[in-house]
Amino acid sequence: MNIHQQDPEISHLLNQELLRQRQGLEMIPSENFVSEAVLEALGSIGTNKYSEGYPGKRYYGGCEFVDGIEQIAIDRAKTLFGVTHANVQPYSGSPANLAVYFALLNPSDTVMGMHLFYGGHMTHGLPVNFSGTLYHSVQYQTRKDGYLDLEAMAEQAKTEKPKMIIVGATAYPRVFDWKALKEIADSVGAFLLADISHIAGLIVAGVHPSPAGIADVMTTTTHKTLRGPRGAMILCNGNPSTPLKTVERTKENIPTLIDRAIIPGLQGGPHNHQTAAIAVALKEASTQEFKTYGQQIVKNAKALADRLLEHGFTLVTGGTDNHLILIDLNNKALTGAQAEKALDLAGMTVNKNTIPFDPRRPFDPSGIRLGTPALTSRGMKEEEMKQIGDWINEAVIYWKEEEKLRDLRKRVKDMTDQFPLYPNLQY
C-alpha cells in the first residue's frame, strides 16, 4: 500500500510541498535539490537495520551489507576531501559539532567562535545553545564592512586563550584564509575546527580553498552545496587506534576521539538509509559534472549580486565570492521580515537575516540571505540570475501591494516551468 492510500493527509501535504518547490525559486543558501538516486537511497530498506558501532566492529549481527554501505561512504569521503579519516554517522550538522566538542574539550573549556549575528552558527557558541552553556564561549565578529578581522581575532585569542577556535559561517559571502586562521589557533595552542557545512560542495568543485591538512578537524553537513541528504560528516587526518579507557586529547588521537565521541559518547545506531544516500551523493560529487555545477553556483551568485548592485541594493562586503548573498535593506524602507514575506508571495524563497552590527532584533532583522545552489541545480545560469535580480527589486519596491506580487509569482512560475523539477515524482 503506497502513501497515498495509507495516509492521504500526508500524501496531500507532500504533494503540495513538491508543487511549491517546482513552481518557486528556492534561494535559501542552505537548501538544495538532491538527485532522484539520493531520494531513492534515503527511502530504502537501510532504515530497518540497527548497526551500532563501525564497519567490522558492530554490537549487532546481520550487518555485513550495511558495513559495505558505510565503508563505501567513508572511502568516498576520504578521497573527495583529501583526508585519511572520515566519520559519516553524525545525524546532522549540529550533532557533528557537538561530537567535536565532546571529543576535544571538557565542559567549561573556552571556545572561540563566530557570533551568530555576524554570520556564524548557533553551535559556534551562541549563549542559549549547548556550545554557549556547557562551554565558556567567547565570540568574534566581523568588521563593519562584513569582512573577518584577522588581527582582532588574533588579539582576542591571545587574551582569551581558547582551547578550540571554530571557523565557518552560515552568512559569510567571502572565502576563508585557512592558513592565516590556523596561525591564530597555533599561536595559543588551540584546536582549529573548520565547519565547512555551507561550502563543502564549493571546496570539492575547487572554487573555495580547502582546510584539509590545515585545520585539525572539519565538520560538514551533506545537504547544502554538497547536494546530498540531510546528514553530516566529521573529517580529519590520522588513523583511529584500539579504544582504551583513556585517550589523551592530542592532535594525533583526534580520529579515535571523534569515533568514540559519536559512539558510545553521543549516538546509538547510525541511520543506514541516510548513510547510503550520503554515499550516492559523494559519488555524484566526484564527477566532472559536479565540479562544473559548483563553478556555476559561484558564477550565478556573482551575476545575481551584480544585478542587485545595479538596482541600488547594499550587499554586505559589497558582493560575494561563494554561493550566498547578504543584503542590507536599510536603504530600501523595509525590514528583512517584510522582504521575506513579499518575496514569498512572489514565489521566491529567501530568509530574513541579521547583518553585521544590525540595529534590529533577530526575528525582524535588517537583512535577507539568499543563494544560488538550488537554482543552479535546476540548470539556471547567468541570464536567469539577471532576471531574478530584477524580480527581487520589483518585489521590494511593491512589497505592500499583494496583487502586484501575485502577478510577479505568475512570471516566476513561467520561468520555473522551463526548468522541470522531479517531473515523474508524486506522492
Catalytic residue among 22, 58, 76, 224: 224
60 is catalytic: no
156, 106 in Cβ contact below 8 A? no
Pairwise CA distance, residues 78 & 86, whole Å? 6
230 is catalytic: yes
pLDDT at 242: 63
Catalytic residue among 195, 259, 284, 321: 195
Instruction: Write down all domains in the chain, each with its CATH number in brackets.
Output: 13-29+288-416 (3.90.1150.10), 40-285 (3.40.640.10)
Q: What is the mean pLDDT of residues 172-189?
A: 98
183 is catalytic: no
36 is catalytic: no
Catalytic residue among 230, 249, 291, 404: 230
DSSP H/E element including 373: helix 373-377
174 is catalytic: no
Catalytic residue among 7, 31, 49, 52: 52
Instruction: Give the pLDDT confidence of 371-417 residue by residue, as tens digits.
Output: 999 999 999 999 999 999 999 999 999 999 999 999 999 999 999 99
Confidence band, pLDDT 50/70/90 cuts, at residue 362: confident
20 is catalytic: no
Instruction: Give the pLDDT confidence of 206-251 residue by residue, as tens digits.
Output: 999 999 999 999 999 999 999 999 999 999 998 887 655 678 999 9
Label residues 53-67 b or e (16+ Cβ within 10 Å = b).
Answer: bbbeebeeeebeebb
Catalytic residue among 110, 142, 221, 335: 221
- Cell triple for 67: 558495513
pLDDT at 405: 98
pLDDT at 187: 98
pLDDT at 245: 67
